[in-house]
Structure 1
Amino acid sequence: MHHKCTIATGGKLLNNLHWTQKIRLVSIDNPLRYSYFRSYIAVAEEQIRHLKTNKYVIHPFSKFRAWYELFLIYLYGSLLITKPIDGGFRIRHTNSYHYYTLFTDVMAWVDIVINFFTGYEMEGGKYIELRMWSIAKHYALGPYFLLDAVSSIPKSSVYIVAVDRRELLLFLGIACLSGLFKFLRLVSLIKCIKNTAEYFSVATQGVLFLIGSTIMTLMTIHWMACMQFAVPRIRNYFNASDLDTRMASWYYQGNLYYKPFTEQYTHCFFRSTAYFLNIYLSVYKMTLPEEYVLAALTYGLGKIIIAFIWIILAVAIINSRYMNVKYAELTNQLDEYMAHKQLPVRLRNSIKQYFLFKYRNRYFKEDVIVSLLSENLKSEVSLHICGSLIRNVALFSDMTTTEVSKMVDYLIPEIFLPNDIIIQSGSHADCMYFLNSGTVAVYTRSGKEIDHLQDGAYFGEIAILLKNETRISTVVAIEISHVYRLNKRDLRKYLLTNKKIIEKLMKNAEKKYNTIMRLEEEYKTLLLEKSLLGVEKVSLSPLSNDIE
């Protein structure tokens, strides 16, 4: 049952707030808050503390922050793409691009302002700092404020402050160089993706790891491609008078300076990729010291990224195959055990068949996992596991959901291999069985096969219900059969308290008992006639379809 609370729990202080204030408080729906606030009352207390401390501060676990981080994915992604392009290339005749970069720079300053109003998690403690002065001090003295401010200066602003061409080139060089500091926000982009995915429950940890690694790799390649143009260009800004060095640059030698941006970027991408992979391309010559340094740096980063990619692939493969590896390890130990005990081949094959059916090539510690679950979760898991059994056994249709949920907790799963005896005639009756999957054969005491039971059938109840106490038939597995055992004590406690169930069970048990006994007498007569008269074939009456 899904609970939707309709009782006000926060008092007048919380219930009379405007929606713009509520979205800045810690949200009960934010899964990120569980590390700090695990209950409704803890969330309510944090909301009250927030209002009393500073109502204008944005809580890091609020709805506003969750949706704002979704916007930050777009903003940081845009800045990480455009900043190296601004530093390395001259985009001509594209006013829309310049307007877009100006917009992202303005939004970057808005982000700086919002950071001064956003609380933060205290390191090493379960506490959220909401005091304005502490927040401002933490951000201003931290690693991001200065870099955010410097890298968010619009490049077009240098044309306002520059007086002559020399100053213009100097300021352009500073603007291009400062914009490159935005690369440090790559970590923040990955964090925002992780938080957003967790808030909206759209990806697993493995998928997030793969997405984050891919973004880091692509962004690094993009930045190093832009640096192929940015390094010599920034050098020319600070040393514009050195024309010989400028003309010796690789992009002047390749006649790329006046080419369109797409062609320039394509050449830069191939050049940086060649350095990444340690591939020599004769078309790109290196003459200047900074070009050699950049090539060495790109090569080093390439080796690191390639190693990182291999590690990611190895981890992904190991994680996806971990259960199979554990199962292979278990089967290896099993082989050593059977060899040490000198078990016969037939028994070894039976044991392997049992393990294969039970674990299906994936080993897991079921007892440990189940022990960690709450009682309610255990009941839900049991209901789900026994779902096909509940649907197939007509007997359960007369039971309420509560009765079924209580009973399935006491069903004991068992696996029987072909030719395994499940019930032996003449043995003491202490349980009954429900057949989840497989096929079993029913025999009389004299050994006459009288019926086959399949999915959804149940057997073993006759001796319990009719006070016989001893089994009147033998049940043998024909194929691998998955059954659930219900002990006599639990049978009386959870099944025999329902009048409809009692009537149906007793009626079927009496019918089965009479049919089995009749067929048993007929078979005994047949055997007697064979022994006395030598009769080889005697026709029997048709078998009933509802035999045990």
Structure 2
Amino acid sequence: MYHIRRYADHTCRLPPKGSESCLAKQSPLSGYLERLQRISRKFILLDKQHPLVKYYCRSGAAVIQERKRHVFNFPWFVIHPLSKFSFYVDIISAIFWSFCFIADPFLAAFWSGIDRFVVLDVITSLVNAALLLLCFTRYIIGFFVVKTKEIVLNPKSIAYSYLTKYFFVDFVGSFTFRPFLIIFNPECDEIYYNLMYVIRLVKLARVYSCYKRSKLISLYFNVSERVHIVSFLALLTLLLLHWLTCFLFIYSKIAYYLMGYIMESILNHFKISDNYSLTPWYQRYVRGVHLISTQLCGSRGNVDESYQASEQLYLSFITIFGQIYYIVCFVLIYLTFKSRASTDTCYEEFLLGVHEFMKSKKLPPQLKQRVCVYYENRFQRKYFREASLISLLSEHLQHEVWLHSCQRLIDQVQFFKVLPKTVVGIILAHLKQEVYLPHDVILKADAPYVNMYFISWGTVAVYTKEQSEVDHLVDGMHFGMPPINRLRLSSANYTYVAVEVTECFRWDKEGYNKCFMIYNEIADILDKIHLKIIADFQEKEDAQKKLRTHNILSDLQQGKIIETGKKRSKYFPEK
């Protein structure tokens, strides 16, 4: 799998319009504290390298717009969910949760007041203290609404969402009660320490959150969805085996504290709890794992009548749970590998065919990477036969589906807002989707006008015939002209080159003719818009020429262009 690179190394020749971070420019006389404050402020703003940026901000202009929304509309302490800080918090939280998923049940099962697990207990307490600190950062880190792809940065909404979801689990599961037990009751019974470890087990409710963080890691390293799902299910199976084994020993402790030593217990039958303080913990743990694993697979058979009723119920629950869990895992793996209805699977199969084709043609690595980038942005990892699916719908439904898919383009393009809705619908029905990679020439100077282009997302640089950069066009802007125009313009005056991966909708001659038959005024509107755009480009080009001339004169005056000869010494002239 090739590394997908969305942003090209574009050397912009235009004067900077402001800071890329959208923060106020810093004075050269700023102190260390102000510089540190600015660096920390950048650390909590949206980061272009975040793995989820391509799902919420597909272009550089959208990234800048989201940064402006964050900087100017919300308090300074709010942290963007696509920032570096949020990414590191998610990764650290996933690592700490994974450690606690193993350590907390183990301590709850095997802690007996002996100093053999003191080191593990101290490490677990430190990890839980760190998770408790990260718990309070959740009040200022924004979150996503997956269905609408909305990024929520309102502090009240963030606090309310976290309080109603995971605050109780994080706070109670990470709170350390040991210092209070040592201070207020140094000689307390062992049962209180065991109860402390049992309370921490509420943290197991964060398993799904850990899965989402692991998906973030897989996206960062460009791991396929199949490998991620199979790996997570394998690790989850091992964790379930560990948890059920520890719960068995936790039950034995509860039964011992409530009823004392029970001769008929299953723990005694399998020599798990006999001589509890003398048998090594690892021997008891291995025997417990063997018992639970055989019960999960259903290979032990009927439960012995000599066991306690509660133990029979627990083992029966494990057997039923194991069968359901295996069925769910089988279905998930089947849907991942074999289901043809899965668009993700179809895309991966299609991409494998593309790789085989490029391998047979012996394409160079750089060209292979560009092909992969194209298909990545063209299909968005979801491959289906769009033409055949749309053709089965009625004409009215086809029009409604296309209008809904182009809603973002309608909201952004100012040209559509001055036209009647019927005309906009006709234009949209004749648009052709195109994806351009960085450095692709979309329209070249002196090339005949054939199409008009509307930028859905991305950035396009405008160059003169002398290869001088004039301007950048971003989301919602348009360029080019239909082949039929009243200005008698037959060729383009500027060259348009994609700066990053850019999606454009192309409007050709056929679509223009149908619109012109219904709405004749569209020709006048297009002419006025095109004249305004050309005048704007010409004004910026003249301003840049004046700026370059001024720079040359100032460089001449300062002696930066003409090299100064070797000066003769005043007292020792050269011979």
With structure 1 as the length reference, what TM-score do the two structures score? 0.54
Which residue of 1 is the match for residue 247 of structure 2? 227
Amino acid across the alignment from 1:171? Y
Give the deviation of 1:34 after TM superposition: 3.1
Correspondences of 1:454-469 after superposition (within 5 Å): none
Shift of 1:80: 0.7
Structure 2: 5+ residue stretches without partners: 1-6, 27-36, 351-382, 390-430, 441-575
Whole-angstrom CA distance in 2 between matches of 1:171 and 1:281: 37
Q: Which of residues 189, 195, 206 in structure 2 aligns to 1:168?
A: 189
In structure 2, what is the equivalent of residue 61 of structure 1? 82
Q: Which residue of 2 aligns with 1:257?
A: 276
The aligned amino acid for 1:2 is A
User: Structure 1 residues 9, 178: CA separation in 2 closer, same or farther (over 3 Å shift)?
Assistant: farther
Percent identical: 20
What do the CA deviations read for 1:280-322 (whole angstroms, capped 9, x no partner)?
2899996333312221221122112221232244334415998
Deviation at 1:31, TM superposition (A): 3.7
Pick aligned residue for 1:74 from 95, 112, 116: 95
Change in Cα spacing, 1:206 to 1:229, as seen in structure 2 (3 Å) is same
Matches of 1:296 and 1:37 in 2, distance apart?
50
Does residue 19 in structure 1 map to residue 47 in structure 2?
no
Instruction: Say whether the 8 Å CA contact 2:108–2:198 is kept in structure 1.
Output: yes
Task: Name the amino acid aligned to 1:243.
Answer: G
For 1:20 and 1:135, locate their aligned partners in 2 and report how far apart those are by CA, in whole Å.
21
1:206 and 2:212 correspond = no
Instruction: Give the structure 2 partner of residue 85 of structure 1.
Output: 106
Q: Quick check: 1:159–1:168 contact (8 Å CA) kept in 2?
A: no
For residues 59-83 of structure 1, give each alpha carbon's deviation from its aligned partner in whole angstroms, at most 9, with x where no partner exists.
1111122222222221111011111
Is the counterpart of residue 156 in structure 1 residue 178 in structure 2? yes
CA separation of 1:235/1:138 partners in 2, compared to 1, >3 Å: closer, same or farther? farther
CA 1:66–1:201 in 2, change beyond 3 Å: closer, same or farther?
same
Of the three residues 180, 184, 191, the one matched with 2:201 is 180
* Equivalent-residue separation in structure 2 for 1:306 and 1:233 (angstroms): 29
| Secondary structure, counterpart of 1:27 in structure 2 | coil
* 1:107 maps to which of 130, 145, 155: 130
Distance change >3 Å, CA 317–CA 99, structure 1 → 2: same
Matches of 2:337 and 2:160, distance apart in 1? 45
Whichever of the two has the greater Rg, that structure is 1
Q: Deviations 1:499-538 (Å, cap 9, x if unpaired)? A: xxxxxxxxxxxxxxxxxxxxxxxxxxxxxxxxxxxxxxxx
Structure 1 pair 364–202 and aligned structure 2 pair: CA distance change class (3 A): closer
Hey, what's the Cα distance between the residues in 1 that align with 2:91 and 2:139? 19
> What whole-Å deviation, never above 9, does each CA across 1:162-184 have from its counterpart, x for those lacking one?
6487x635533532331221111
1:2 pairs with 8, 28, 36, which one?
8
- Secondary structure of 2:9's partner? coil
CA distance in 1, matches of 2:311, 2:62: 58
> Are 1:196 and 2:220 an aligned pair?
no
Aligned to 1:393: none
Distance 1:2 1:119, change over 3 A: closer
- 8 Å Cα contact 1:25/1:50 also seen in 2: yes
2:141 corresponding residue in structure 1: 118
Q: Which amino acid aligns with 2:266?
A: W
Structure 2 contact 173–203 (Cα < 8 Å) conserved: yes
Q: 1:155 to 1:268 in 2, by over 3 A?
A: farther
Corresponding residue number in structure 1 for 2:155: 132
Distance 1:129 1:365, change over 3 A: closer
Q: Which SS does the other structure have where 2:140 is aligned?
A: coil
CA distance in 2, matches of 1:132, 1:378: 37
Residue 336 of structure 1 corresponds to: none
1:426-441 aligned within 5 A: none
Deviations 1:388-446 (A, max 9, x none): xxxxxxxxxxxxxxxxxxxxxxxxxxxxxxxxxxxxxxxxxxxxxxxxxxxxxxxxxxx
Give 1:215's aligned amino acid.
L
Counterpart-to-counterpart distance in 1, 2:137 and 2:54: 24
Q: CA deviation at 1:252?
A: 4.6
TM score, norm. by length of structure 2: 0.51
- Cα deviation per residue 1:84-109 (whole Å; 9 max; x = unaligned)? 11221126423321221111111120
Q: Please report how far the alpha carbon of residue 39 of structure 1 lies from its aligned counterpart in structure 2 after TM superposition.
A: 2.6
| Pairs within 5 Å for 1:185-334 | 185-198=206-219, 200-237=220-257, 239=258, 242-245=259-262, 248-252=264-268, 254=271, 255=274, 257-258=276-277, 259-280=279-300, 287-318=307-338
The answer to whether the 8 Å contact 2:142/2:153 transfers is yes
Write out per-residue CA displacement over residues 472-493 of structure 1, whole angstroms, 9 at most, x where no aligned residue: xxxxxxxxxxxxxxxxxxxxxx
The equivalences for 1:360-375 within 5 A come to: 374=434
Q: Aligned with 2:49: secondary structure?
A: coil
1:263–1:159 Cα change, 3 Å: farther
- Does residue 145 in structure 1 map to residue 167 in structure 2? yes
Q: For residue 260 of structure 1, report the CA deviation from its aligned partner.
A: 2.0
After the TM superposition, which residues 467-482 of structure 1 pair with which residues of structure 2 at under 5 Å, given as runs? Answer: none
Change (3 A) 1:162 1:86: farther
- Where does residue 46 of structure 1 map in the other structure? 66
What displacement does 1:366 show? 12
Secondary structure of 1:128's counterpart equals strand
Shift of 1:234: 3.2
User: What count of residue pairs does the alignment treat as equivalent?
Assistant: 335
CA contact (8 A) 1:60 1:120 kept: yes
Which deviates the most, 210-219 or 73-82?
A: 210-219
SS for the counterpart of 2:324 is helix
CA distances 1:334-390 after superposition (whole Å, capped 9, x unpaired) = xxxxxxxxxxxxxxxxxxxxxxxxxxxxx9979989x9973646999xxxxxxxxxx
Summarize the Cα distance change of 1:313–1:20 in structure 2 as closer, same or farther, 3 Å threshold. Answer: same
**Could you say what secondary structure the match of 1:190 adopts?**
helix
| Paired AA for residue 274 in structure 1 | T
Shift of 1:55: 1.7
Preserved contact between residue 105 and residue 198 of structure 2 (Cα < 8 Å): no
CA separation of 1:98/1:122 partners in 2, compared to 1, >3 Å: closer, same or farther?
same
Partners in 2 of 1:80 and 1:372 — Cα distance?
51
Cα distance in structure 1, aligned partners of 2:331 and 2:252: 34
What is the aligned partner in structure 1 of residue 117 from structure 2? 94
Equivalent AA in structure 1 for residue 316 of structure 2: A
Q: Distance in 2 between matches of 1:209 and 1:281?
A: 31
In structure 1, distance between residues paired with 2:239 and 2:296? 14
- Give yes or no for contact 1:173–1:234 (8 Å, CA) kept in 2: no
What letter matches 1:13 in structure 2? Answer: L
